Amino acid sequence: MTEDRAFLRHTLATLAYRGGKATRGADTGFATFLVSPSSRTPIQVLTHIGDLLDWGLRIAQGQPQWTEAIPGSWDYEVQRFHKALQALDAHIARDEPLGASAEQIFQGPIADALTHVGQIAMLRRVAGDPIKGENYFRAEIVDGRVGPDQVPAKTEFN
């Protein structure tokens, strides 16, 4: 596996770890929390992340069409997030050529998804349901571990 593919897989594992933490254990009403009339709700942000990851897979396959899903339940969108990560990770792990450069795949859908995971974490705090901060440098993030089951944080703080 090339270094750029290995790096992409690590960014996906990082996204799974951080996204899992931001979405896990959210209060029941959090999905529809609205900061302002012009902002997205957390469920809309999470659905958009799923759309980005689906797009990332299509880019990697050489078919970069964009589609937008209609938001499902919070639990459904969390599952969709991890399934989309798994599909993209599996494709990147293959030996077949990518439909775009690793840099383009990172700078488009993956970087955007990381930004939106940060928005969900911020919205949790604003909604009064914050996640604990963490020293992510110490987190046990492993290439290929992109499902919902992540290793617990090593160093969290308030």
The structure's pTM equals 0.97
Residues in CB range of 89: below 8 A, 6 or more apart: 9, 12, 13, 144, 146
DSSP 63-86: ------PPP--HHHHHHHHHHHHH
What pLDDT, on a 0 to 100 scale, did the predictor assign at position 95? 92
Measured between alpha carbons, how far is residue 96 from residues 16, 53, 61 in Å? 23, 19, 9
**Which pLDDT score is estimated for 1?**
87
Alpha carbons 4 and 90: distance in angstroms, whole number: 15
What rounded mean pLDDT belongs to the chain? 97
- What pLDDT was estimated at residue 158? 77
Model pLDDT for residues 16-71, shown as the tens digit of each residue: 999 999 999 999 899 999 999 999 999 999 999 999 999 999 999 999 999 999 99
Each residue's pLDDT tens digit, 129-139: 999 999 999 99
Give the pLDDT confidence of 78-134 residue by residue, as tens digits.
999 999 999 999 999 999 999 999 999 999 999 999 999 999 999 999 999 999 999
